[in-house]
Amino acid sequence: MAEVRVERLHRSFGQFTAVGDLSFTIADGEFVFFLGPSGCGKTTTLRMIAGLLMPTSGRIELGGRNVTFLKPRYRNVGMVFQSNVLYHHLSVYENLAYPLKVRGWSAADIRRKVHEVAELLQITGVLHRGTEGLSGGQAQRVAIGRMLVRDADVFLMDEPISHLDAKLRAHMRAELRHLQKELGRTTLFVSHDQLEAMSMADRIAVMNGGELLQLAPPQEVFDRPANAFVAGFVGEPQMNILEVTLDDGQLQAAGFTATAPSGWLAQHRIAPGPMRLGIRPEHVETAPAPLPGGFAARLEAMEPMGAENLMTFDLGGQPFKVRQTTGQSDDFAPGDTVHLRPRPDHLYLFDLASGRTLAQAAFTDRSRA
């Protein structure tokens, strides 16, 4: 087991910076997700930690040992990727045994270890089958098993379950989470799926454009995003972010107004002027009649989602999403003018130019939310 420490890690491809000056420490036994849009540098970061790609500059320590330029086999990391190639001419048992064979383990030790891992992953029943006829979930378990047999200090997983169907993915999420806790290995997991990250991670590292924007527990990333990008990336449907002007306690844009609590503005020393306002879709009241301090908007689309309705309004040409529990908004129909009021205790303010969070929801205590 090991702590992972990365200092000013940088990787360019020609003129292009894929990962720029990344620094973070992941504690021994922690389960950390690297989350971000396609091309943000997640895989490049993982490959450098694995030793499959050399950094342009920076330092990587695993368990206090400088491994920056060591070959993968001297790092004792286990890896599993989205498309794992199983050896199809070998049985499941032989696939699991192979990494141990090449490390010179005795036949008895290999047998013991392979059976132990197969049991953990519930694939004992297919151990002596070939790999061709395995289901997607079984094949992925064998790939994970090949990582587990090696007793690595650190596990690196790059979208290992993203190509499975939704039901199997949900099942594997729970299984991987359980396995990681049981084994207690430091695990770095790359994903672009925020729900996966929210439900499995101890902490989430949100990346964009080769930079680390925030590294924090899931609920903190959700409640206290470091900037507008993180706020928009985490949450489904995503946070509404509007360009507004603060004047006399009112946050205003064309066709829009919201009242911010004056104590909150003073506490965060928010000066009047242009800024970005964030409102999560679940933090908006709706009514057929005007709401004091609210505004009116035309309902463009209504999507019933079982327990909730997702509504899309037109706000000066921009979509504005509102999510409400079924029963509170069932009578509205597309084309209706609906009165809306953001909950004043759940507003976020971001710097107009940099997107940095200036102030966040006044009441982030969930018992009061």
Q: What is the DSSP annotation of 101-133?
A: HTTT--HHHHHHHHHHHHHHTT-GGGTTSBSTT
- 35-43, 109-117, 195-203, 297-305 -> range binding ligand ATP (CB under 6 A): 35-43
- Does residue 280 belong to the site contacting ligand ATP (CB under 6 A)? no
Q: Are strands 57-62 and 4-13 parallel, antiparallel or unpaired?
A: antiparallel
- Does residue 44 belong to the site contacting ligand ATP (CB under 6 A)? yes
Tokens linked to 275: 């800024």
- Of residues 117 and 164, the one with the C-beta less far from ligand ATP: 164
- Of residues 44 and 68, the one with the C-beta less far from ligand ATP: 44
- 42-50, 105-113, 117-125, 165-173 -> range binding ligand ATP (CB under 6 A): 42-50
d(CA 129, CA 118): 13
Residue matched to tokens 């997991």? 189
- Of residues 22 and 260, the one with the C-beta less far from ligand ATP: 22
- Of residues 41 and 99, the one with the C-beta less far from ligand ATP: 41
- Of residues 45 and 240, the one with the C-beta less far from ligand ATP: 45
Output the smallest distance, CB 17 to ligand ATP, in A: 8
- Does residue 40 belong to the site contacting ligand ATP (CB under 6 A)? yes
Under 8 Å between Cβ of 348 and 361: yes
- Of residues 13 and 87, the one with the C-beta less far from ligand ATP: 13
Backbone φ and ψ of 202, nearest 5°:
-75, -45
- Does residue 36 belong to the site contacting ligand ATP (CB under 6 A)? yes
d(CA 121, CA 144): 8
- Does residue 39 belong to the site contacting ligand ATP (CB under 6 A)? yes
Under 8 Å between Cβ of 97 and 150: no
- Of residues 15 and 367, the one with the C-beta less far from ligand ATP: 15
Chosen residue from 5, 42, 150, 283 binding ligand ATP by CB under 6 A: 42
Q: What is the DSSP annotation of 175-197?
A: HHHHHHHHHT-EEEEEES-HHHH
- Of residues 43 and 312, the one with the C-beta less far from ligand ATP: 43
Beta-carbon contacts of 344 under 8 Å, excluding residues fewer than 6 positions away, are 258, 259, 260, 261, 264, 293, 362
- Does residue 41 belong to the site contacting ligand ATP (CB under 6 A)? yes
Q: Residue 77: left if φ>0, alpha if ψ -120 to 50, beta else—which one?
A: beta
- Does residue 13 belong to the site contacting ligand ATP (CB under 6 A)? yes
- Does residue 114 belong to the site contacting ligand ATP (CB under 6 A)? no
Query: ∠ CA 216-218-221 to the nearest 5 degrees?
Result: 60
Tokens linked to 256: 């829009």
User: Interaction with ligand ATP in 173-212: which residues (CB under 6 A)?
Assistant: 192
Chosen residue from 4, 18, 49, 311 binding ligand ATP by CB under 6 A: 18
Output the smallest distance, CB 29 to ligand ATP, in A: 24
Q: Residue 269: left if φ>0, alpha if ψ -120 to 50, beta else—which one?
A: left
Output the smallest distance, CB 210 to ligand ATP, in A: 7
- Of residues 129 and 192, the one with the C-beta less far from ligand ATP: 192
d(CA 158, CA 295): 45
Under 8 Å between Cβ of 202 and 230: no
- 32-40, 116-124, 311-319, 341-349 -> range binding ligand ATP (CB under 6 A): 32-40
For ligand ATP, the binding residues (CB under 6 A) are: 13, 18, 36, 38-44, 192
